[in-house]
A = this chain, B = another copy of it.
Amino acid sequence: VTQPSVLDHPISARRAQTRERLITAAIAVFADRGINGASVEEISEAAGFSRGAFYSNFADKSELVLALLAHSMTAQFAAAERAIGEMKAARDLSAEELVTLALSAFEGGGRPAREGVLLDQELQLHAAREPALHGAYRDFVAEGDRQLAALITDALRHLGLEFTVPFDHALRLLAAVHEHEQRLAVFEDQPADPAAMRSLLLAITRPSRVPD
């Protein structure tokens, strides 16, 4: 679903920067007010612009949401790249630290945890309600899974482990548990407790039979 931009002109650097600032502001405002609860005024003001500037850059509020989805995707991929790098550099991490590191890249694309979790949940709900976004959201998830698969494969090799269950099941289990813990952590004062994740890892991995 390619949404035509407001203008077909090549966008100037100044314009791109304004858009970027509006999107960044929207992330924060959406996270704490909700997509429906956030007003165009709040977003514009948080970005340091008037409402007019908003409408000069986005056809309407729903185009912003679309842009934000795309932005989240990009941010997530960048965070994944970064995580791969960190993982390769890390030498003395435990299995669940390594896996949590990998997974963390996939919620909120490296944003503050609470904000990223709430925004993702908000976007998911929004996409669920708009049939037009179902396809886009599925692609988003699928691509995320693909990148996550690469990361986890690396991590396992690095640790000398292999899964005792089919790889794609393992992936879904890890993602599910990570998401769940992150969501509950929003209501706690301390960060998420990694104990359940550790149990899961112990249960679904074993030393690799084929050392490299």
Contact = CB atoms under 8 A, between A and B. Distances in A.
Interface residues of A, number: 41
B187 A180 contact: no
Identical copies of this chain, number: 2
Interface stretch (A31-39, A70-78, A96-104): A31-39
A178 to B, nearest CB: 8
Interface stretch (A48-56, A59-67, A79-87, A123-131): A123-131
Q: Is the interface of A mostly helix, strand, loop or mixed?
A: helix
Most buried by B among A33, A137, A165: A165
Given A34-B125, A36-B34, A196 B180 contact: no
Contacts of A183: 124
A196 to B, nearest CB: 4
9 contacts: A118-B125, A128-B187, A165-B203, A173-B196, A173-B200, A176-B179, A176-B180, A177-B177, A199-B204
